Amino acid sequence: MPAPELSLSVRVVRFPEAPLHRAALPRHMVARWIRAALAPDVQAAEIAVRVVDAEEGQTLNRDYRQKDYATNVLTFDYSHAPLLAADLVLCAPVVAREAAELNKPLAEHYAHLLVHGVLHAQGWDHETSEADAEAMEARETQIMAALGLPDPYADSDNANS
């Protein structure tokens, strides 16, 4: 089966550490990570990735999820298979802090969060039940392994939102 067509936009807003985050997100790798998370019924995907500072991350999470803190990844999905359209917003300071706490390379943590966000865009939800959370984590682990990356939940009790 041919890979789905992917229209991808990657933007990093201006903030002091932006070059570090830009370097962790080479476009070809972002495309690879996103493609790996697409379900077989997705024929094409339009994904915008935006990396933001803590202020914008908190504002978006507060305004759209009524949670007044910056979170690692927010997913805004607009359509599902066969055409998937979504915006993924990653909060750089949160991602960097988590990567450091987990002792993982920044790019590896971004890969996991992009996979996580793309699964959310396709209807996966870890907040509905423990069974759904376990299924989503298992799928993320499977995708990460296919990418040659370690289990994001190994040695960690932290689930991502």
Mean local confidence (pLDDT), 140-155: 95
Model confidence pLDDT, tens digit, residues 26-36: 999 999 999 99
Q: Give pLDDT, residue 2.
A: 74
Model confidence pLDDT, tens digit, residues 92-119: 999 999 999 999 999 999 999 999 999 9
Q: Give pLDDT, residue 20.
A: 97
125 φ, ψ to 5°?
A: -145, 125
Q: Give pLDDT, residue 156.
A: 55
- pLDDT above 70: percentage of residues in the chain: 96
Q: Give pLDDT, residue 1.
A: 63
Nearest-angstrom CA–CA distance, 24 and 147: 16
Give the sheet arrangement for strand 83-91, strand by strand. Answer: 5-12, 44-52, 83-91, 73-79
Residue ranges per structural domain of the chain: 5-146
- Comparing 76 with 2, the larger pLDDT belongs to 76
Q: Which fold has domain 5-146?
A: Collagenase (Catalytic Domain) (3.40.390)
pLDDT above 60 (res 159): no
pLDDT above 90 (res 158): no
Secondary structure class of 71 (helix, strand, coil)? coil
Alpha helices of the chain — where are they, by DSSP H?
A: 18-23, 27-37, 54-65, 92-102, 106-121, 130-146
- pLDDT above 90: percentage of residues in the chain: 89
Mean local confidence (pLDDT), 152-156: 81
